[in-house]
Structure 1
Amino acid sequence: MNLNSVFARRLYLCWLLENEQKPNVPKLMEITGWPRRTLQDVLKALPGMGVELDFVQQGIRNNDGYYQLSSWGPLDRQWTERHREQLLEAISQG
């Protein structure tokens, strides 16, 4: 399977948002090893693909909270689950 690394990042991030407990940018940076800017860019791109994403505010500061995936849109959650290792491989080669 030949996956584009940009698309693989988006699919993998969707998977993380659904499977991690209260995923925020610092936690996602720790899990993925991606820079903050890369994560922010990928998060910003998801709604353009039809993915519905919410930021759940917790605390007083603007950025206190976590992301929650409310809809995968046209993406296939089960396919992403089954191909997670290939996604990670495509990301590492990109």
Structure 2
Amino acid sequence: MEINPVFARRLYLCWLISHSERPNVPYLMASTGWPRRTLQDVLKALPGLGVELQFVQQGVRNNDGFYQLESWGPLNKSWINQHHLALLAAIA
């Protein structure tokens, strides 16, 4: 199965957010090994796929919180859950 790495990165990030308790930027950077800018670009692109992502503010500092996946939109959550390792391999 040939998967576009850019698309795979977006799908994998959705999977990672949905399987993490409080996925914030530092956690996602550590989990993926991606630089902050790459991670921010991928997060910004998700609504373009129809994915509803919410930032849950926690604490007093600006951007002190975590991301929460509200809706997968047109993406097939079951397929992504089954193929998250193949998505990760396509990114590497």
What RMSD in Å do the two structures reach over aligned CA positions? 0.5
TM-score normalised over the length of structure 2? 0.98
> How far apart are the structure 2 equivalents of 1:59 and 1:40?
21
The alpha-carbon deviation at position 61 of structure 1 amounts to 1.0
Aligned equivalent of 1:40: 40
> How far apart are the structure 1 equivalents of 2:65 and 2:59?
7
Deviations 1:35-87 (A, max 9, x none): 00000000000001100000000011111000000000000110001111110
In structure 1, runs of 5+ residues without a counterpart are none
Following TM superposition, the consecutive aligned residue runs of length 4 or more in structure 1 with deviations greater than 2 angstroms are none
Aligned equivalent of 2:4: 4
In structure 2, runs of 5+ residues without a counterpart are none
Aligned equivalent of 2:55: 55
> How far apart are the structure 1 equivalents of 2:56 and 2:85?
29
Alignment size in residue pairs: 92
> How far apart are the structure 1 equivalents of 2:67 and 2:84?
20
